[in-house]
Amino acid sequence: MDGLANSDAGKSELGADRTGAQPVWDETGTRPAAPTCPAGLIGGAAYAGASGPPLMLIEGLKRAFRPGERAAVDGVTLDVYEGELLALLGPSGCGKTTTLRMIGGFEQPDAGSIRMRGTDITALPPEKRGIGFVFQDYALFPHLDVFENIRFGLHKQPRKQAEARVREMLELVGLSDLARRKPHELSGGQQQRVALARTLAPAPQLVLLDEPFSNLDAAMRVETRQEVRALLKAAGSAGILVTHDQEEALALADRIVVMEAGKVRQIGTPSEIYRNPVSSFVASFIGRSNIVSGTAEGLGAETPFGRVELSRAVNGAVDLAVRPEQILLEPHAEGEAEVIGREYRGHDQLYWVKKGERRLLVISGPAEQIEIGARVNLRVCDCVVPINADQAGLIRR
């Protein structure tokens, strides 16, 4: 049903090769990170809004739950900058929650290190890390009202000071009028704002959020995610948000860490990840892609679509990720392909077309309607991304 031609998601082991090419930074923490890896490849660039070295640097994090089995988290290396919102994105079971739990101190890694502003915190208990955690089910106290729930995280502060901070947080999340309500008297979105306010109240440097929108319905999710982003930015806390929802990661994050099978496959801004995926896994997991093979020479390649332009220069046999919206359908009585399926979606239309033995997915505008069974020619109307190419532009098959 997904119409992907010959996507070999998960086959690429290139991510493992590239985990060595990560940003490096000065041990003293005084020099901003210098990206050592060209943008678009696994390490991507540092966060564009970074004003110094990373707030947190995680290197080679590993955790296997059973001896001899494949590690749930297998050498994760990433960095998070002050004020940045980072999304950990990947399919269910790829190790996102385990990574987050190790960052929070709820799970001990078998190997690797976690440093915060240059200090190794790998062995510190959760409460000594200055990190807040928003739980998936919010974990609000049902018998306490909104005010007391938020105050809970400030129990070590003098009463007056804590109460002033609670009022400040209530204002930040827009719940001042509901301070005396109990959690069951609030909507899902409001409960989540209380949970976030409680986490943000002690001013953590970093907030961890595990699938924070999974308890909300689709419409609330869209509304709430921008609110959560705005609240973190307003509070000045960095955030690491775990999600399996690519749309959520694209819409929310400053940078996305794409994970698969315990490994980091690519790190980059939403547009880098979408426009320049490094492997068929990333190209097919984030958005949809038609994976086609071709023969490249510099910035051009011969493909089943004829000659296409490439987004970066490579040579030899290549796999290319062609996005459905990059293909134009031109009805023609003797066209090279046949329309075999169509789905009208209001704002656009999905077409499945068959060219030889290959099925391709095409997205086009809502106006023109091509009937099933019609012949069409295919034209690629944009630069296409070579995938599974290494940094030197050489292709591994």
Selection from 144, 149, 136, 49 nearest residue 100 by Cα: 136
> Min. distance of Cβ 260 from ligand ADP in angstroms?
10
Of the pair 175, 273, the CB lying nearest ligand ADP is at 273
Q: Which is nearer to ligand ADP, 210 or 319 (CB)?
A: 210
Tokens coding 6: 């010959």
Q: Write the interaction track for Mg ion spanning residues 94-123; mark x where CB under 5 A is met and - where it is not.
A: ---x--------------------------
Between 84 and 211, whose beta carbon lies closer to ligand ADP? Answer: 211
Single-letter amino acid code for the residue at 85: L
> Is the CB of 98 or the CB of 266 nearer to ligand ADP?
98
For residues 348-377, which are near ligand ADP according to CB under 6 A?
A: none
Please report how close the Cβ of residue 16 comes to ligand ADP at its closest, in angstroms. Answer: 17
Does 264 contact ligand ADP by CB under 6 A? no
# binding residues, ligand ADP (CB under 6 A): 10
> What interhelical angle do 218-235 and 159-172 show, nearest 10?
130
The tokens describing 292, both together, are: 């086609």
Residue 10 beta carbon to ligand ADP: minimum distance, rounded to whole angstroms: 14
Give the count of alpha carbons within 13 A of 242, CB side only. Answer: 22
Looking at beta carbons only, is 73 or 384 nearer to ligand ADP? Answer: 73
Question: Whole-number minimum distance, CB 95 to Mg ion, in Å?
Answer: 9
Contacting ligand ADP within 53-82 (CB under 6 A): 65, 72
CB-CB contact of 243 with 89 (8 Å): yes
Q: Which residues of 16-31 are buried (b: 16+ CB within 10 A; e: fewer)?
A: eebbebbbbbeeeeee
CB 257 within 8 A of CB 86: yes
Rounded Cα distance between 382 and 325, Å, is 9
Report the partner that residue 140 touches, choosing among Mg ion, ligand ADP, none (CB closer than 5 to 8 A by kind).
Answer: none
Nearest-CB residue for Mg ion: 97
Nearest to 197 by CA among 112, 156, 140, 271: 140
Which alpha helices (DSSP H) does 94-217 contain, by range? Answer: 96-104, 146-151, 159-172, 188-200
Shortest reach from residue 264's CB to Mg ion, in Å: 16
**No. of helices (H) and no. of strands (E), the chain:** 9, 18
Q: Are 172 and 197 in contact (CB under 8 A)?
A: yes
What number of chain residues touch Mg ion (CB under 5 A)?
Answer: 1
Contact partner, 72, from ligand ADP, Mg ion, none, Cβ < 5-8 Å per class? ligand ADP
92 binds, among ligand ADP, Mg ion, none (CB under 5 to 8 A by kind): ligand ADP
**Residue 93 site contact among ligand ADP, Mg ion, none (CB < 5 to 8 Å, cut-off depends on kind):** ligand ADP
Distance CA 392, CA 372 (A): 43
Partner whose binding site includes residue 119, from ligand ADP, Mg ion, none (CB under 5 to 8 Å by kind): none
Closest separation in Å from C-beta 65 to ligand ADP: 4
DSSP lists the bridge partners of residue 164 as none
Contact set for ligand ADP, span 162-191 (CB under 6 A): none
Q: Fill in the DSSP letter of residue 46.
A: P
Residue 98 contact partner, candidates ligand ADP, Mg ion, none, CB within 5 to 8 A by sort of partner: ligand ADP
The answer to whether 246 and 285 are in contact (CB under 8 A) is: yes
Give the whole-angstrom CA distance, residue 199 versus residue 207.
Answer: 7
Under rule CB under 6 A, which residues in 84-143 are in contact with ligand ADP?
A: 90, 92-98
Minimum distance from residue 108 beta carbon to Mg ion (Å): 18
Q: How far is the CB of 96 from Mg ion (least distance, A)?
A: 5
CA distance 243 to 210: 7
- Rounded Cα–Cα distance for residues 85 and 65 (Å): 28
Pick from 360, 374, 366, 373: which is nearest to 345 by CA? 366
CB of residue 94 vs Mg ion: minimum separation in angstroms? 9
Q: Nearer Cβ to ligand ADP, position 23 or 212? A: 212
Window contacting Mg ion (CB under 5 A); options: 92-100, 112-120, 180-188, 336-344: 92-100
Question: Site residues (CB under 6 A) for ligand ADP?
Answer: 65, 72, 90, 92-98
Q: Which residues lie near Mg ion (CB under 5 A)?
A: 97
